[in-house]
Structure 1
Amino acid sequence: MLQSLIARTFRTRSIAVRLPGGRTIRGGPGAPELTVVVEDMKTAMAIALNPELRLGEAFMDGTFRVEDGTIYDFLELTASELARTRRPLKPGWRIRRAWEQANDRAHARSNVHHHYDLTVDFYRLFLDEDLQYSCAFFERPDASLEEAQAAKKRRLIDKLLLSPGRSALDIGCGWGGLGLSMAERGATVTGVTLSTEQHRTANERAVARGLADRAAFRLQDYRGLREPFDRIVSVGMFEHVGQPNYQEYFDTVARLLSDDGVAVIHSIGRKGPPSRTQPWVRKYIFPGGYIPSLSEVLPAIERAGLWVTDMEVLRLHYAETLRHWRERFLARRDEALALYDERFCRMWEFYLAASEVAFRELGHMVFQLQLAKAPDAVPLSRDYLYAGR
């Protein structure tokens, strides 16, 4: 079964898979680019039956390893082959997806806790100093991660047309970096998160920077907000909403946004048609999460009565962001091991590598949608984004 999987997957690039007892299976033409090792037949059978889940688990367990390269090298090789074919989804996938992404308030809190309530000291190992855990914007190919994350925040704030005295809401505020930057621009900021670690850290940072009178971060579901805001921003949170809840999300944005207000939604998306969440990612990294197609997002915006006043697609920016995170994580892996354990570190190594590959090879991207209630809420040209540059 494993031999059949390898033959189906590797057609233009080559690989060697060494099994227990020394037997080697080859896939693709010519000399192997990589050799991977499967340590026992139980693992080989598990991968053959369910590669989307069991391959990542085998890497976590140490029963699948890359002999003459890294897990990134293997995933890049594999993804480049998978990108050439489109595999049909199993019947009933939409029904199962709706169940997996129901994300009522209790499940939403549990899902956020799973990923974002790791100690902030872990995230400090590989994120920039401002703890930006979303796609950076590389204005130059040689920009540092810190420069690119600062550029991302500037671009979002410019798209919000933020000015002193405005009230601003940050849905999914993370550890507070963007909210604090908006407060420094003179806005009165409310941030909401379901992560206790992020809530605590964001408010501590506001106090430390003397911004507690202008930036307040709440441990609250965005659906419970009632007061209006002049500006609404949401970065890297929409991926956790779940497709069944898109209408409620945009209806809430419309309800909370003032009549002359502006909102900017920044989310990972997919180039292709609607799909489902990769099983290993759903189980270990982002339970309840989903990367949407724009064809699933725009109808909900239309029904909410909002204008899409601007849309921008960032393609390889997240691949570069993830490359920086992956390299930083590997450079400080021993410190991560001191916080957690070897299986956890292998899980994160696999996650960061697989995510980068998805943006380079499998059609993942980031979209930024600028929304408004009034057609003249923003300038009629995009010149304001480049003023003074």
Structure 2
Amino acid sequence: MLEKQVLKKLLASAFDVPVMVTYWDGTSENYGEGLPAIHIKLNTKLNMKDLTKTPTLVLAEAYMNKDIEIEGSIQELITSAYRKHDSFLTNQDGFKGLLSKFVHSHGEKESKADIHSHYDIGNDFYEKWLDSTMTYSCAYWIREDMTLEEAQMAKVHHILDKLDSKPGQSLLDIGCGWGTLIITAAQEYGLKSTGVTLSEEQYAFVVNRIKELHLEELVTVKLVDYRELGDMTFDFVTSVGMFEHVGKENLGLYFKKVNEYLKPRGRALIHGITGQHEGAGVDPFIAKYIFPGGYIPNVAENMQHIMNAQLQLDDLEPLRRHYQRTLEEWYKNYMPVFDETVAAYGEPFARMWDLYLQGCAASFESGNIDVIQFLMTKGPSGTNLPMSRSYIYKNEK
């Protein structure tokens, strides 16, 4: 009975929307005013000691194993918890002391293992719910009626347009994913493009795509750690959704490498998930099951590393609402293939991705995290750029 009493007290202040909770003994309780649109079923007792230390991990594992079932929107539920600043689910003060447990060394060997655990699940898995561009990062919604594919291509064009490149110049994409950016840079902008990845699945996909499109003269992909490119230099460096993976201890080195790979007066566009407030930078569920070794830096951390790397800021653009929309679109694509995912990978895995996609959408919706594009110059800011930012948007329709 003590576990139930403690949990009831915690749940009473966890959300700002009405919620019904059915406990393991069959009794139900309504929390909040109004008719509950969300029903949480607790099928077994939870370990209260672990729950109060790492609530997101304990509850996520319970959901994966069907010890918890949720009827209604998980995104709405988690967003509601973020709005309740005193909710035990989102107050991470008690978790900060456990940060070292979930942040491990991020040398080249560890980086390859971490990337393999997420991106080498299999291209067929991602093909089920990504769009045809196989772009696994924040899209850019110029218009509300855009398809996901159109919004992903708009993001690629937005990045390349910010660089204000000229045909014949060179570009390095650190963490090139399935290659849409480097291929578009070559086909539409005339850039000689190089991509690097540690994912064997992505590497094989990009190599095949380059051959199919007969782009061997313009596009190269390397299966190599971004730190091991020697003395190669480029007019431009891009990196989309990458710095979140390098580890807290390597962020400074990452931005220094961006500087090293740029020619004098070269430009970099770095796009990644960050925060606009102080925080632990790691969620234990995400760290254990989704992105091992990952770390979300806040804006101040990134700016300090940018300055230390002798780069100067040209432009900073938050795209939080765009990533919320992207995740919502991914979730719409994922649910029709949920049963296929269960058959291929098991129900805990399928439920883990259900929770991950909705939970991340909630985190962006609430402002807990953001995604920001940093445009930088190796040298005085704005070198060789138009005086007005209007050049960025001249092709957007």
TM-score range, shorter-chain basis?
Answer: over 0.9
Q: How does 1:1-389 map to 2 (within 5 A)?
A: 1-10=6-15, 12-42=16-46, 47=51, 50-67=54-71, 69-82=72-85, 87=91, 89-90=93-94, 93=97, 96=100, 100-184=103-187, 185-226=189-230, 227-375=232-380, 376-389=383-396
AA in 2 matched with 1:322: L
AA in 1 matched with 2:159: L
Measured in 2, the distance between the counterparts of 1:349 and 1:314 equals 23
Measured in 2, the distance between the counterparts of 1:163 and 1:337 equals 47
Among all aligned residue pairs of Structure 1 and Structure 2, give the percentage whose two residues are the same amino acid.
36
Measured in 2, the distance between the counterparts of 1:91 and 1:324 equals 31
Measured in 2, the distance between the counterparts of 1:88 and 1:56 equals 16
In structure 2, the CA distance between the partners of 1:222 and 1:94, relative to structure 1 (3 Å rule), is farther
TM-score, reference length from structure 2: 0.91
Give the C-alpha shift of residue 90 in structure 1.
3.8
Measured in 1, the distance between the counterparts of 2:261 and 2:280 equals 30
Q: Counterpart of 1:25 in 2: which secondary structure?
A: strand
Equivalent residues, number? 386
Give the C-alpha shift of residue 44 in structure 1.
7.2
AA in 2 matched with 1:218: K
- Assess if the C-alpha contact under 8 Å between 1:43 and 1:58 holds in 2: no
Measured in 1, the distance between the counterparts of 2:114 and 2:92 equals 28
Measured in 1, the distance between the counterparts of 2:314 and 2:73 equals 43
Q: Counterpart of 2:112 in 1: which secondary structure?
A: helix
Give the C-alpha shift of residue 315 in structure 1.
2.1
Provide Cα deviations, 1:344-379, integer angstroms capped at 9, x if missing partner: 110100000000000101432111011111321322
In structure 2, the CA distance between the partners of 1:95 and 1:2, relative to structure 1 (3 Å rule), is closer
Unaligned runs of 5+ in 2: 1-5
Measured in 1, the distance between the counterparts of 2:50 and 2:261 equals 48
TM-score, reference length from structure 1: 0.93
AA in 2 matched with 1:146: E
Provide Cα deviations, 1:281-326, integer angstroms capped at 9, x if missing partner: 1100011112221110001111111111111111200000000000
Unaligned runs of 5+ in 1: none
Measured in 1, the distance between the counterparts of 2:79 and 2:156 equals 30
In structure 2, the CA distance between the partners of 1:386 and 1:307, relative to structure 1 (3 Å rule), is same
- Assess if the C-alpha contact under 8 Å between 1:254 and 1:373 holds in 2: yes
Q: Counterpart of 1:66 in 2: which secondary structure?
A: strand
Runs of 4+ in 1 over 6 A off after TM superposition: 83-86
